[in-house]
Structure 1
Amino acid sequence: MIRNAKPSDKLQVLKFCQNTFSWGDYVEHVWDFWLNEDLLFVYEKQFPVGLCHAFFSENQIWIEGIRVDSNFRKQKIASELVNHIELLGKRDGALFSFMLIDVENSISLSMAKSLNYEIFQTWNFYSLEPKKNSNFHITFANFLDDPTCTHYVKSWRWLPIDDTIISEFIQQNKIIQSKINNVTSTAILSDSEHFEKTLIVTLFSSSHKTTSQIMLFLQNHAIQNNYTRIQILTKEKLQNSDLLEHKLSFHLLRKNLC
């Protein structure tokens, strides 16, 4: 019933992945990436009716892209796909499983709860327009010891932060900070692996003033480096402006696999 996806599944899968959200779906854009990364599974009933992808990182599994054909829902297909991936993770020593669900997606949240997932954190997604700026004050970090910085976002996957990652990002000037009156906000920069010219920012905001400085830098950085989109993920609620728009809020869910 559950097997590894193959290239010939694409057309059938995309048939039930067209109108997942009000704006459509992104599966058609990431299918080839997921297929190459492996751990892409379909649920088959003579033909694919369900989909799920997984990504392993250190001691955790990241589960994404859960989709079920509308004609085959309420048959626990999504749950079986998740269980399948969890078993693979346990076999390889994973301690935790994570997934991201829109706070308004009550059906998926109910499914996750039935599988013993709990809300670990809530994150907000903002879109920031690139713009040429010069009047900002930020520094490139040479250390990061904030205990709240447990994960960073890479291509919409929340991956654990460790000393190796921090050292690598510091060397690449991927961690920026703004400090005003002993209050510091931090941002981690990464390029989207699936969408061109897209800057993904994990923001740890401590004050409006420090965050504003980071925003000005990000806008200018995008212009200088030919990014057309800036996507900001943060646990904090930011103040909307003409160029900063709140898009969605998500629950980051976690399950202990031990």
Structure 2
Amino acid sequence: MKCLRQYERIKLKHYKLEQNTEFLRICLIYNVLPKFIRYKPYNTRFKRTRKYQELGRSMLYNIYTEQLKRLKKLNNDVTENGSCIKNIVSYPIMTEIVIYIDKLIHKEKEIIHDRHNRKFQALNIPVNQAEESLLSKGWKYAINLNKFNNLNLKVDIEYMYYFMDKNLLLKNTDNANKVKAALDDFGSKLKKKVDEDIPNLSSEELNAISTLLNEYSLVISKVDKGNVVVVMNKSDYLFKANEILNDKRAFKNLTII
């Protein structure tokens, strides 16, 4: 019983922390400062400066990274506790436990979402459903790189150095060492930049990408002008396309010989 209560407590704590981290991520993406970050400077004019915004953003980013570390640790605790309970109870009981905890999380989810929606409205951040939010970003929206293959980069850098050396672009040893050091430094800096980058899509929006890719009943396209995404039922799309193509005044059948 004690193990179950601990698992329940950790799961709820994990969910709350996950939602709080997501709130901070959105604040960073939209470059807004929540109330708990804002502070009253001695000079009121300083509040209108760029330095004030940068300082606040730096504080927010530090909190965000700390939350991510806590979330990772808590995720391990959830896995360990879940494994512990699975070893103690039977499968049917474990299923009931999961359903019970899911109900608690769902109840907590409604409370947190309502609270965060009020915060977003106060901060003038648009809030939409995952798929709507994803599509509303526009056709030219670029998704941040989530995974970084350091090995591939090292191979590319080594090949670049080999190519330069082979074509006698490195005239002496001193230059060769400098170029090699610069290339290695570039690789390290790029990896650090990617690791520190804030994802510009939430986990729900990333899942929405897979959902939309596998939704064959929809046609997702762009308009002729602008950066707008259009979503149509495939049946409506085909009907409209056939209607246009069947217009004898605009099109005619060609016989291929």
Name the larger-Rg structure.
2
* Larger proportion of helix: 2
Q: TM-score, normalised by structure 1?
A: 0.19
* Larger proportion of strand: 1
